[in-house]
Structure 1
Amino acid sequence: MTKHIPVPIEVTFTAGMALLMCALSLCYGLPIRLPSGQGAQMMGIQLTLPLLGIGVWLACAVMANRSTSPWRPLIALLCYAAIGIVHFNLKLWVPFIRTTSYDAFFWQIDEMARPVVDLCMALRVALRPILHYWKGIYLWSFMVMFYLSFGYHAIRTPDTFRKLFLSVIFLQGLGAIGYLLLPAVGPFVYEAGTSASITAAQHEMLALRQMSVAAGPQWLADNGSLNLFAGLGAMPSLHAGFSYLFLWFAWRHGRPLLPTYIPIFGYIIVTAIASRWHYLIDLPVGIALARGAIYMAYRADRSTVEGSTGPEPSALPASPEPLAA
């Protein structure tokens, strides 16, 4: 009798996202693009370095957890890369697939909660003297959480590592679907944020978006690879979602990370609003999506543990697991 080899959930999820991308491509006549060398160089921090890091730390996880199959890191790495390609293609396609926009509705919510927006902007301005010489701190602070989380959990809590990884790819995939369901460009179309350089980048991306819509899918065929990472999508806020996800895993499984993560999380939340990348409502939706991704990851991991015969849990555990010594 042939032994049944279960398909890892990351493969199933990635295949599903890839099928969705292919279906939308055929339905709307949109070309699927891979990042060009120049495009990857422009935004390499969003893809190339994370791929390198996840490969190194997945290898660490294998060495720390001898029961892990030796081919799993390679499959996980390929799934992560594929989900990234799907994510950025779908984000770039949003204005071709959805002509409606929720910007006006989300802006009304911001106006009703104007004191909160103004507070975030005031806090970010107050931080300028401290952060003046640290260019790109918003992106780098996010990347610090990314790298520290994968490194810490791969080495110190290898049993948690796969849950973290699954959560990341689930959130990346679901976030792209969120862009399609609730399309919005961002509040920068109504007002400038606290950073002139970020505002300039936002309007450059908006100009590319308008140019692509005016020229049609052929523009994507000719320029999509170079501009694969230039898609605009305010809802949901995945920076808020991912920073919450990493903070959640730190609270549950890596308390030594908290003194670093708590201020970074607060900074990302404030800056996401103050820079006008995001409406207020984008943040709780991104965090809720991250919570859903975590739940899915725990369910998926526990149902596919090799040799597991225990009952499948109906919910996430209520209390933290013991920290690694």
Structure 2
Amino acid sequence: MVHSDITEANRLKTLQEYNILNTEAEAQFDSITRLISYICKTPIAFISFMEEDRQWIKSETGLNMKETSRSSAFCNYTIQNDTLLEISDLTKDNRFSDNPFVTNNPHFRFYAGSPITTAGGYHIGTLCVMDYEPRYLSDQEKDALKILSNEVMSHLEVRKKNVELQQMLNQARQFQDLFNNSNEIHCITDSEGKIEFINTSVQLLIGYSVDEMLGKTIWDFSVPGERERVMPEVFRAISLGKTHFQVETRVITKGGPIRWFEWSDVIMNGRWLVNGRDITTRKEAELKIQNLSIAVEKSPAGVVIRNAKNEVSWMNEAAEKIIGYKVEE
């Protein structure tokens, strides 16, 4: 692996994506450190991840450390190569002979580490074994170290996917909570209009439970004739390539009263995404205004409405007869 500032920046970014730093002990990683220590017959084994200035140790046996500076970490050399690094006697290697962990307690003498490598080729950490005496690993022990470092990477991938899945589940739960606490009806229907999914707000709005609605259509709960009244225009719009619609229908609630609903519909992937809100109060107000308008229009008394500029904007028939002018005049 060729080292460069860009490569190192990408390596650090990749490491962060695994969300492994500063996490609690996990059995799958602890099992690997114990196993490699047993296989290699070393008193020390650990899994570490290399940050910009720190080596953080995820799992260890016999080390009793959680972190070191990167400058004093043997593993800093391991992550700069694609192969296993073995130092049989640290005191005889110029890179490590003056390392404080060699010259002072605990006086390490042997180190072997295999990089933990992502699918993209970034060495984000190492699986290592150490000893207080100079020594060599056998070919079988080296193979085990490489195999188990790959196993660490496999666990990281599974762990990452599990974390991402949990995040998605949490988001789904948050969405469902928001969805079900809405004061509107939200549902998904198939191409025939049969309800496949609907939020629990439907029970508060029209009295029927989710189970009572599933598999039915909105028309099963509408005033007879509503489908024939509104759908021809929707079908004409579909034939013109439109996918968004808005209609108003009357719904018979479970208790019997009829409520007006405004439906905003979207066709997507062969299904209908439907949002319905109760507009009964608005429709009642519109009806009152309509009735009042008719009453004023037919009133024998003259009624004149002026705008903010004191200009006549409307008058009824009686006013026109009294004044002798049409409103247009």
TM-score w.r.t. structure 1 length?
A: 0.23
Say which structure, 1 or 2, has more relative contact order (CA 8 Å, 6+ apart).
1
| TM-score normalised by structure 2 residue count | 0.23
Q: Which has the higher strand share?
A: 2
